[in-house]
Amino acid sequence: MSQLNAVEMYGTAGRLTSLDLFAGAGGLSEGLREAGFTSLYANEISPRYAQTYAANHPGTHVDSRDIRMVDARKVRALLGLKRGELDLIAGGPPCQGFSINAPKRSTEDTRNHLFREYLRFVTEFNPRAVMIENVPGMVSFEGGATLDAILESLKCLGYDADVRILYAPHYGIPQTRWRTIILGARDGMNPTELFPEPLRQAPVRVNFTSQFAGKTLVNLPRSLELPSHVTVRDAIGDLPVLRNGEMGDVTKPYRHPADNPYQELMRVGSEGVTCHEAARLSKVNLDRMSHIPPGGNWTDIPETLLPRGMRMARRSDHTKRYGRVSPNGLASTILTKCDPHWGAYFHYEQDRAFTVREAARLQSFPDTYVFCGSRVEQYEQVGNAVPPLLGAAVGRTIARVLGERETRVRTAGAA
């Protein structure tokens, strides 16, 4: 990892204001905060997620009501903002209905229309810029009709908008995660300038529709001189060693001093490691794990130990299941549980699954970030989050463009 400090990676602090809708546990807001944005209001319907958000963003008004029941005008009055004063509305309407992995992708799924609630807030606040994030499957959903509707709706509200699919490892996140990002701005700003350029090289495999309106949406590095991706070992190698099922102290000391910039960045302000407890795996999973080398998967397990449903599977299928991550590679996409049947969630050198803190590190949450609720709830919050470093990369670019625009307006006014 190159020698980037927190300011260089995240951007300089400044008084930029934002709203976060469908806010989850606050991963996107965390990244935007480090890019200089102050989140004034967040809406998240899950009380537990809202609790986590509030614990980490104490200055934000956190609202856990159903967004369909929230009067956007009253929220604007509460915040004391005039229309057009807000800098950014960001958020991600629930993505399950759009996902290529959803069992039924249908316009009958009411979750697919919650972006209209987002647009209702845009109409009321008239922010300088807008950001909508979702899964790559949104691009192909209903043949692109939903994406078309979002872009057209933003245009009707005065926003020129564009879309890209960003790869998390290109922005310093050590896992194979893709997100569709829609960015728009008013007053003649070019939306293509709002998207961040990749900061790193990383192995790429595109397994989704990446074409829309005749163009490729995947944002790939332009330069071969960029540093390589952050590895799993870079991300979690300093966290305490645990045995299968080990709990220990609530706050644990680090394994050793930080030995790379990623660890240094994750530790800023931290006095120890929390949410670092090893779930107890069954004996059969421990037996399976004993056969899997770093970088290996279910195909390394003797057939007699495989789950019955996998014994007839082709060896080219399900290549992440029962995987032990490679320390020098990227982690599987962090999902809502680190269940080995779902992906490569076995530690590369310790015979156990990832802890909540390790999952959070692989998502780029700082160690000071606390997660409320049970361990199951904490895994869900981490897995459903936008990686903060990805939010920071996008937020930093938006902040720069808004700042340049403000400078031009002031200069023109002075002339």
Please say whether the beta carbons of 396 and 300 come within 8 A: no
Please say whether the beta carbons of 363 and 173 come within 8 A: yes
By mean pLDDT, which of 76-80, 286-290, 338-342 is the weakest? 338-342
Instruction: Express each pLDDT in 78-95 by its tens digit.
Output: 999 999 999 999 999 764
The packing angle between helices 356-363 and 375-383, to 10°, is 10
What CA–CA distance (Å, rounded) separates 389 from 31? 6
What CA–CA distance (Å, rounded) separates 169 from 334? 13
Asked if residue 110 has pLDDT above 90, the reply is no
Active site residues: 95
Nearest one of 177, 139, 197 to 394, comparing CA atoms:
197
* Bridge-based pairing state of the strands 215-216 and 88-91: unpaired
Nearest one of 130, 129, 209, 200 to 165, comparing CA atoms:
209
pLDDT band at 107 (very low <50, low <70, confident <90, very high): low
Instruction: Express each pLDDT in 202-247 by its tens digit.
Output: 999 888 888 888 899 998 898 889 999 999 999 999 999 999 999 9
What CA–CA distance (Å, rounded) separates 278 from 281? 9
pLDDT band at 140 (very low <50, low <70, confident <90, very high): confident
Domain spans of the chain? 6-227+388-414
The answer as to CATH 3.30.870.10 being correct for domain 6-227+388-414 is: no
pLDDT band at 109 (very low <50, low <70, confident <90, very high): low
pTM of the prediction? 0.91
